[in-house]
Amino acid sequence: MEEKRSQPRQRTLKGARIVFNGGHSTITCLVRNLSEKGALIKLSSPMGVPDDIELHFDDGQHFDCHIVRRAIDQIGVAFK
């Protein structure tokens, strides 16, 4: 399978939260890999998660993101 990403992602296991709905909705998640342009996020279910979200890492970093891929228990995001 051909790699389509412009930046290679590094494997990681970082705790984070998906934030949406003006900060009123959050979902705990685990970031499985990361690059300068995006991330692969594992969560219980992506159902109900809008296409545009914020990703807040436990270390205080946060990014505005757009979901580019959805699967049963994970999403791929591009940083805006």
Residue 2 has pLDDT above 60, yes or no: no
Which tens digits make up the pLDDT trace of 3-48? 565 667 799 999 999 999 999 999 999 999 999 999 999 999 999 9
Domain boundaries, the chain: 10-20+35-79
State the pLDDT at residue 1. 45
R_g over Cα of the chain:
12
Where are the extended beta strands (E) located within the chain? 10-20, 25-34, 38-42, 52-57, 62-70, 74-79
- Cα 6 from Cα 23, distance rounded (Å): 30
Which tens digits make up the pLDDT trace of 42-72? 999 999 999 999 999 999 999 999 999 999 9
Task: Look up the pTM and report it.
Answer: 0.87
